[in-house]
Structure 1
Amino acid sequence: MTGPFPPSRTRPSSAAFGPRTGVREPVGLKIRQLPSERAALQRLGKPCFTSPGSRRAAGSGRLGPLRTARPRPLRRCGYTPPHLADGHRHPAARPRPQGRPPMRTATPRHYLMCRPTHFDVVYSINPWMDPGKPVDTELAVAQWEQLRAVYLGLGHRVDLIEPVEGLPDMVFAANGGTVIDGRALVARFRDAERIAEGPAYRDWLHHNGFADPVTASVVNEGEGDYLLVGDLLLAGTGFRSDPRSHAEAQEYFGRPVISLTLVDPNYYHLDTALSVLDDETIAYYPPAFSPGSQAVLRRLFPDALIATDADARAFGLNATSDGLNVVLPEGAVDLAEQLRSRGYLPVGLDLSELLKAGGSIKCCTLELRPAV
């Protein structure tokens, strides 16, 4: 015998261990029963038990039927059992204390960036670009270097692709492709001015651990229009990426793709109107989407952060997040306050020079997700 009860018996469920559940009890554990209680049971024709292990029907040598305890409404008398009190509920069923943000955890990321050595605005392919406005390339490089320094300070890995002269928008690395589970789908650009960026990013990926990168067969502008949220791949269309690219991406990555239609030309890529904060949470600007797409986002992400008009104009949604630290344009003050209230740590930066080409923090950042 290895314990206080014989091996052939099960653990008692008597009053000492909780309500009776009808399990077989060990022989030898005595229950005190007053004579008056025994007499009352005998008058009712009920068996009298002298021990938890003796459930024998009165007047016979057979075991009586198994009995189970019935729950009683104990709360009617103002008493709340300890196992039903808030402090004893399962965490998933326990209401979250009001005013206390959830705990967030940062996950190290692997990013690809391109120094804006040749940055300039010499053509216009979105409403933000005006070739007539002067551009300070040195300032753009300094602001970009600050972004890279923040990533390194947060513990992220940052790889660099060599900038190509004559490709001023190559700094916007997010548009170079989409990398999930170690597989790379390389961008195919809509505008002639950027088409040569695709092969440059494909060559880099091929020589840096992504053996067989595939170039999209139709217009697909990479993480500009493709954002991963948990297992879902949100895909934008309306101005750049061809809607047919959504089916191609789903087949290639084996992830469910959610098509979203953009309707405001100022927010021509998905990453200008929506930001992924963690595997379950996003922030977005509803007026940038069609009514149907807004309904989809409300259904999928009922707890999403909603950006104000001022946040959107500041390109505040063109941000990156590691699950805790959210790097975003410093002009998105309302969004930063919302992030703090939800337990995130906003890190504001000035990338105003790069905004002259319609890009900011996320545009400069391509995430390289390894194989699982």
Structure 2
Amino acid sequence: MTQSAQILLCPPRYFDLSYVINPWMQANFGALDPSRAARQWRALRRSLADLAELHELPAVAGLPDYVFTANAGLVFGKVFVPSRFRHAERQAEPEFSRAWFREQGFEIRTLPPKLIFEGAGDALFESETTRLWMGYGPRSEAAAAPALARLLGVEVEPLQLVDPRFYHLDTCFCPLPRGGLLYFPAAFDAESRLRIQAAFPADRRIAVVEAEALRFACNAICVDNTVIADGIADATEARLGHLGLDVLRVELDEFQKSGGSAKCLTLRLDVPSRNVLNGQARPRAAQSRAASQASTPSAAQRPLAKQAVSR
């Protein structure tokens, strides 16, 4: 029996554009319509409810960006690694996220003091593997890659982000089911682009154009064979269709004014999948430089009581 995807959201009760910490906020300061944002969030929630089991993180007054649950931290089986934010405006969030995950039975593992890491916004597991792709530059620090490899016992591939508009990895990089990728190449430095090209076959690697990237086409949620996002053009939808994937478009432009969209508003609680944690992942030929520095055994090999999501 196939288990439902597990997705965490946070209602936008206190969502607002009250400070500036990225170019999107700078360009749209004072232009947010909270009521319209709430309607868009409810529409996203309805769409996801047909595809997954949903969980809600209670909103917290004074934390307008808490709605972007992808930034709460990184989930690996039943382990939760809390974020440590670069900007003071978001540094109160992890206290509340840690408490929620602890109540849900997750093991909390923390990165070394002062190391900046902004959660699943900058760390995405490749489909059907325990390989973790981690963005660094505008927010997360490069040193978080080997630290995560040691903490979780997984491969970590660092990618340098060079465009401040794409300040988190999930704004320009979306691993697709069965080894595909949706991404915006210009958001990365040359070495990172080569690493991506080496890891993902050309026929499963879909590059979006800038106009799509600026509509957050890559900030997508993948549930089974469905890709949920705003901004995906017809040509890209056709290419996704050739990979056996359906596109579900959702309008989220109010959240894009703050620098986020569909993926930013969600956090998967069931990654990697049980099959991956049980050692049934498809094989990978390449090994990560960061993972070679890991000194702890693979988290996927530890007792399942510590690792597998039990629902």
* Common topology (TM > 0.5): yes
* Partner of residue 234, structure 1: 133
* Superposed CA RMSD: 1.5
Q: How far off is 1:240 after superposition? A: 0.5
Structure 1 spans left out of the alignment, 5+ residues: 1-105
**Which of 202, 209, 223 matches 2:98?**
202
Q: What secondary structure sits across from 1:260 in the alignment?
A: strand
Cα distance between partner residues in 2 of 1:264 and 1:288: 5
Q: Distance in 1 between matches of 2:178 and 2:145?
A: 20
2: CA distance, partners of 1:299 / 1:323: 25
How is 1:179-218 mapped onto 2 (pairs within 5 angstroms)?
179-210=75-106, 212-217=107-112, 218=115
Question: How big is the shift at 1:309?
Answer: 1.4
Mapping of residues 305-344 of structure 1, within 5 Å: 305-330=206-231, 332-344=233-245
Aligned residue number for residue 117 of structure 2: 220
2-side partners of 1:109 and 1:214: how far apart?
A: 23
> What is the match of residue 10 of structure 2?
114
Q: Is the 8 A contact 1:125 1:191 kept in 2?
A: yes
3-state DSSP of counterpart to 2:18: coil
| Higher Cα Rg, which structure | 1
- The TM-score, its normalising length taken from structure 2, stands at 0.82
Query: 1:335-363: CA deviations, max 9, x gaps?
Result: 22321232100000000111110000000
Query: Is 1:272 matched up with 2:171?
Result: yes
Runs of 4+ with >6 A deviation: none
Question: 1:251 and 1:363 mapped to 2: Cα distance?
Answer: 26
- Match of 2:287? none
Deviates more, 1:336-345 or 1:249-258: 336-345
Distance 1:107 1:146 in 2: 23
Q: CA deviation at 1:331?
A: 5.1
Q: Report percent identity of matched pairs.
A: 35
Paired positions, count: 265
In structure 2, the CA distance between the partners of 1:121 and 1:332, relative to structure 1 (3 Å rule), is farther
Q: TM-score, normalised by structure 1?
A: 0.69
Structure-2 residue corresponding to 1:243: 142
Change (3 A) 1:157 1:242: same
The structure showing larger relative contact order (alpha-carbon pairs under 8 Å, at least 6 residues apart) is 2
How much has 1:279 moved relative to structure 2?
Answer: 4.5
Q: Which residue of 2 is the match for residue 355 of structure 1?
A: 256
- 1:215 shift after superposition: 3.1
Question: Residue type matched to 1:221 in 2?
Answer: E
Residue 142, structure 1, aligned to residue 43, structure 2? no
